[in-house]
Homo-oligomer: A and B are copies of this chain.
Amino acid sequence: MVEDIVKSLGFLCLGSRFRRIGERLQADTQRIMEEFGVPIQSAQYPFLAAIDRAGPLTTGQLAQAVGITQPGATRIISQLQELGYVDMQTSVEDQRRKLVSLTRKGRELVDYSKRLIWPRIERAVSELCEDLSGPILEQLTAIESELADAPLANRGKLDKGQKS
């Protein structure tokens, strides 16, 4: 067994470590979405959620809401448009702006997700992080070792209150 250098180096490699945990969580989330037959990428979800929560938003506002750069947002929006979940219309007052809104199909996906999928994901992740406390490095170690034991998809399957 080889030493986990990123873990050992601690603060020095914190960026790599955050990133690999993020990628792992996104991949595991994708797995859960596949179980439900959701036909989008996990990175696309926050865009639908943002519009659901705030109403139609421009490309720039979406980039800001999701916390990525504008070119990244532009690409994801055009994928979602391609898939028929959102449509765009040029703003009347300012023709540079494009307002992105949910189509009927997009609204249906969001409603379904809010009802069944998002609670499931949230349960899995909060189960993973529950009772975590203390210094950040220790929490990261705990998260990674939990994930090594069982992926997200094996967690949070039960509704609150249920027992195994």
| Residue A136 is within 8 A (CB to CB) of chain B in the complex | yes
The B-contacting residues of A in range 1-40, CB under 8 angstroms, are 2-29
Given A16-B26, A26-B16, A65-B2, CB of A129 within 8 Å of CB of B54: no
The answer for the CA separation of A22 and B46 in the assembled complex, in Å, is 18
The B-contacting residues of A in range 106-159, CB under 8 angstroms, are 118, 121-122, 125-126, 129, 132-137, 139, 143
**Residue in B closest to A120 when the chains form the complex, CB atoms:** B12
**Residue in B closest to A30 when the chains form the complex, CB atoms:** B15
Q: CB distance A125 to B3 under 8 Å?
A: no
User: Pick the contact of A3 from B4, B20, B21, B65 — CB < 8 Å?
Assistant: B65
Interface residues contributed by chain A, number (CB under 8 Å): 57
**Residue in B closest to A125 when the chains form the complex, CB atoms:** B11
| Residue A61 is within 8 A (CB to CB) of chain B in the complex | yes
The answer for the CA separation of A154 and B20 in the assembled complex, in Å, is 25
| Residue A88 is within 8 A (CB to CB) of chain B in the complex | no
Q: Give me 5 other A-B pairs in contact (C-beta within 8 A), A2-B54, A4-B65, A133-B133 excluded.
A: A2-B65, A5-B66, A6-B67, A14-B22, A136-B136
Closest 9 pairs between A and B when the two form their complex, measured CB to CB: A19-B22, A18-B22, A15-B25, A15-B26, A11-B125, A5-B50, A5-B65, A2-B64, A11-B126
